[in-house]
Amino acid sequence: MNAGRRVPFGRSVLALAALVSASCVLAAGQDAVPHAVRAVDEQRAALIEPMLEDYCSRCHNDFDKVAGLSVADLKASDIAAGRNAESWEKILRRVAAGEMPPHSKKQPDPALRADFVNWLDEGRAQFVTAHPDPGAAPVRRLNRREYANAVRDLLGVEGDFAAALPPDNSGFGFDNIADVLSVSPTLVERYVAVAGKAARMATGLVPKRDFVTTWQVAKDGSVMNSGIPAFNDRAGPELPLASRGGTAVRYVARWDGVFDIAVWLNSNTNNESDRLPEDRFSLRIPMKAGVHRVAVSLRRQTWPDEMVQVVRNTTDYVPLPLEKPADLPLDVWVDGARAGTLTVPAFRVHPRYSQHNFPRDVLQLDVAGPFDPGGQARPAVFTCQPRRAAEEMACARRIIASLARRAWRGPVRDAELAPLLKIYADERVGGGFDSGVAAAIEALLVSPRFLFVVETPPPAGLSGGAYRVSDLDLAGRLALFLWSSIPDDGLLRLAQQGKLHLPVVLDAEIARMLADRRAEALTENFAGQWLYLRNLDQQRPDITEFPQFDVPLRAAMATETRMFFAHVLSANRPVTDFIRADYTFLNERLARHYGIEGVRGPAFRKVSLPQGTPRGGLLGQASILTVTSYGNRTSVVKRGKWILDNLLASPPPPPPADVPALKAEHDGKKLTAREQLELHRANPACASCHQRMDPLGFALENFDGVGAWRTQDAGQVIDAGAVLADGTAFSGFAGLQQILLDRREEFARAFTERLMTYALGRGLGPQDMPAVRSIARDAAKDDWRVRTIIRGIITSPGFTMRRVPVPASLARADSSSGAGR
């Protein structure tokens, strides 16, 4: 059959099915219906398989196998039988996106393409509905952030527990993937050390000796041997309005006592890493045991619009101040109240030199103590207090059982509790009641049921099938997804009552959990990895190329994107806001970088963007534009690949090993990014991938390597126009936003894929893709609301069900019998 004369097979199949069914039923009754189905299958095969032959087999055959795909053995009957699911899902994704067949090749009729996509989508959905497969659910370890959050929520103590554990490996873009969370003896030792520290903190068994806690204030490097830059600006929203410089930190005093608040000031020398006694100033103050906010700041000395002049040194001449340093007040704040004021010189005076290039500022803050320690409030972990020795075991049991229920995410039997009580009793003999409880808590924090996500065994007799997980397991999955932690009492209570899976109850719990402060973990851990925000600290823009880039700007970039994502989540905004929005979150430093007026001060606030402003959405945010650039220039390729990876879930194949570097010059002339890539694409091996990436990256060329707007590159006016592989022309940032909005269904599926990968802790397989498409369609009916996607993931088979592995003996028997057929 000639492809150009073929009618759309979807309508043909439906018409044939209706005619055959009617005639068979009239002639032979209901028993003839299966014959009609077989006839439909035969008609599908007559249309689909020739289509694959006509449009796909030239590249995707057993010999060439382009992109690892061959259609030689694919049959229409595969869909109903669930065979070759991975290959069919690849075909569906690329054909639906209009990427296959390649635009340079013969194309099927649009109606034929649409019917093919619909048939394949519906067929895959029908199969997975009839044969649910939630995928593998391997036992996995808590990663270090999840472990730290779980300890915090279980014991009510806060410490930098995550930093005390080694970084976790990543897979599929996230560090909570079961397959990469390995365990080694060294790692177990680190967990034991952290567990011991947390147990002592929770029970108040920390020593009364004094110790020093140090915070380095993030600063830029020394500029031209003249010191670290410091400015006449308020350093943060937690510091007083009339202040400049300084820092604010969260400090936990373990005992009542007096503490030394010490600051180390800048010296305006070429080596600010030295800490010399003349730069240290301290104040001793009393504090009660508990959590405090400690801050230090100087006072603004000039009119708010006036910046302090910066004097640069040279290698031959160091400008010296003409007058002696003035005395400056440096205020020390505890919990928002001024605890005292230090007097510091306006600049360093040394027997050999003195310099006054930058205002005095704080480089480091130390809190030392407690000195003369007193008491402390009874730790919250002690929910009972024995009055005599005979009551101690009962009280210990009550404390440990309550903690074990939370830590192990469900009821605890006496036999399971017995080892912890034995540890308590053994330690109690030599150390007393509190020491016994601390030892039991330490053991609890390194127990397999706490360190690993261990779910309820499957029902007896079930082999190779899928079953709905218990409410307790559902509670554990919810807490890991939305909080990166363990369930709280409310979640466990509903789970134990068997109510959590009920739709009304589950919806209410999802809303409650997303409104809780612990949901910030979704921003930090999901958005931080999805959007590459964790990479921002490793970016080192060249200060010669981008002199405006500094530490405050870097911090502001990250804050904007975090607040933007958190707002979309908390306000249940459409996910299309990630593509285009008429608002963002700015402080004065970032607004100045963007050229937006009317934003004053270091505090971030929601800002409505004037019409025509080239911001709004993720691609207008400096954090994204910076992590997708090189240190000294933009990268069309990195930006285009980032869009394909993260916004369209359609990554290009990895580049070959011998890809040559781009040429910055040609015949003595500096080349723009477009000219460099045109030379690069002259190689046919490179062109196939770059025709997908480069147009997307070109549209962002008006943003420089740190996200500032520009109109020229290499002395030439920037051309931000682009043409997609299908011939669609567009121009610049606004044009790219419209292209992505026109593909909002594809973006919604991509976002769902990323979020579901994070939620399930594994890579997605072909069995998950029908659920992804269904969730995206449901979101479309609700104006693309983000919580509709979250709820869809939580109610999907992959989240609510578990697959029972086929026993090895049966698997071998099936394999043997298959080999004999």
How far CA 221 is from CA of 229, 357, 363, 660, 706, in Å, comes to 8, 14, 12, 33, 18
In this prediction, residue 263 has a pLDDT band, given cuts at 50, 70 and 90, of very high
In the numeric block, which tokens belong to residue 608? Answer: 């409505």
Is-contact 381 156, C-beta < 8 A? Answer: yes
Chain centroid to CA 377: 37
Average pLDDT, the chain: 86
Q: Using DSSP, state whether 214 is helix, strand or coil.
A: strand
The secondary structure of residue 171, as a DSSP letter, is B
Instruction: Please give the single-letter amino acid code of residue 641.
Output: K
pLDDT score for 377? 78
- Over residues 526-585, the pLDDT tens digits come to 999 999 999 999 999 998 899 889 989 999 999 999 999 999 999 999 999 999 999 999
pLDDT score for 671? 72
pLDDT score for 119? 87
Whether residue 655 has pLDDT greater than 80: no
Return the percentage of the chain with pLDDT > 70, whole number.
84
In the numeric block, which tokens belong to residue 396? Answer: 């210990």
Q: Angle, to 10 degrees, between the axis of helix 185-203 and the axis of helix 433-445?
A: 140
In the numeric block, which tokens belong to residue 199? Answer: 């147990």
In the numeric block, which tokens belong to residue 104? Answer: 């340079």
Dist. CA 160–CA 194, nearest whole Å: 10
SS3 content of the chain, % helix, strand, coil (to 5): 45, 15, 40
Instruction: Please give the single-letter amino acid code of residue 120.
Output: L
Is-contact 685 780, C-beta < 8 A? Answer: no
Return the percentage of the chain with pLDDT > 90, whole number.
59
Alpha helices in 726-765 (DSSP H): 732-742, 744-760
Q: Across residues 399-404, what is the average pLDDT?
A: 97
pLDDT higher at 656 or 552: 552
Whether residue 505 has pLDDT greater than 90: yes
Dist. CA 794–CA 772, nearest whole Å: 12
Provide the terminal-to-terminal Cα distance of the chain, rounded to the nearest Å. 35
In this prediction, residue 741 has a pLDDT band, given cuts at 50, 70 and 90, of very high
Pick from 19-23, 313-317, 324-328, 539-543: least confident: 19-23
- Over residues 721-734, the pLDDT tens digits come to 988 888 899 999 99
Q: Using DSSP, state whether 53 is helix, strand or coil.
A: helix
Dist. CA 307–CA 230, nearest whole Å: 11
Most distant CA pair in the chain, distance: 112
Is-contact 754 644, C-beta < 8 A? Answer: no
pLDDT higher at 308 or 661: 661
Q: Identify the bridge partners of residue 785 per DSSP, sorted by sequence position.
A: 574
Whether residue 478 has pLDDT greater than 90: yes
pTM: 0.88
In the numeric block, which tokens belong to residue 394? Answer: 């009962």
pLDDT higher at 245 or 7: 245
Whether residue 5 has pLDDT greater than 60: no
Q: Across residues 630-649, what is the average pLDDT?
A: 94
Is-contact 357 227, C-beta < 8 A? Answer: yes
Q: Provide CB contacts within 8 A for 241, sequence distance 6+.
A: 234, 601
Whether residue 633 has pLDDT greater than 70: yes
pLDDT higher at 776 or 220: 776
Is-contact 270 225, C-beta < 8 A? Answer: yes
Q: Identify the bridge partners of residue 174 per DSSP, sorted by sequence position.
A: 171
Chain centroid to CA 140: 19
Q: Provide CB contacts within 8 A for 451, sequence distance 6+.
A: 141, 142, 147, 191
Q: Across residues 87-98, what is the average pLDDT?
A: 87
Dist. CA 649–CA 769, nearest whole Å: 12
pLDDT score for 808? 57
In the numeric block, which tokens belong to residue 115? Answer: 């019917």
- Over residues 104-150, the pLDDT tens digits come to 788 888 888 888 888 889 999 999 999 999 987 778 999 999 999 99
What angle (nearest 5°) sits at the alpha carbon of residue 628, between those of residues 622 and 633? Answer: 90
In the numeric block, which tokens belong to residue 17? Answer: 């099915």
How far CA 438 is from CA of 205, 250, 394, 430, 759, in Å, comes to 8, 25, 16, 13, 33
> Strand 452-453 relative to strand 362-371: parallel, antiparallel, unpaired?
unpaired
- Over residues 9-18, the pLDDT tens digits come to 444 433 333 3
Whether residue 681 has pLDDT greater than 70: no
- Over residues 70-81, the pLDDT tens digits come to 888 888 888 888
Q: Provide CB contacts within 8 A for 681, sequence distance 6+.
A: 687, 690, 691, 694
- What residue has token string 């053991």? 443
Q: Identify the bridge partners of residue 282 per DSSP, sorted by sequence position.
A: 262
Q: Across residues 211-227, what is the average pLDDT?
A: 80
Q: Which of the given ranges, 31-35, 589-593, 610-614, 685-689, has the highest pLDDT on average?
A: 589-593
Whether residue 736 has pLDDT greater than 90: yes
- What residue has token string 């140090």? 214
Is-contact 108 3, C-beta < 8 A? Answer: yes
In the numeric block, which tokens belong to residue 750? Answer: 């991509």
pLDDT score for 693? 86
Closest alpha carbon to 263 in 190, 341, 325: 341
- What residue has token string 């911001």? 615
In this prediction, residue 233 has a pLDDT band, given cuts at 50, 70 and 90, of confident
Closest alpha carbon to 308 in 359, 372, 363, 266: 359
Dist. CA 770–CA 627, nearest whole Å: 32
Closest alpha carbon to 153 in 353, 407, 402: 407
Dist. CA 619–CA 741, nearest whole Å: 13
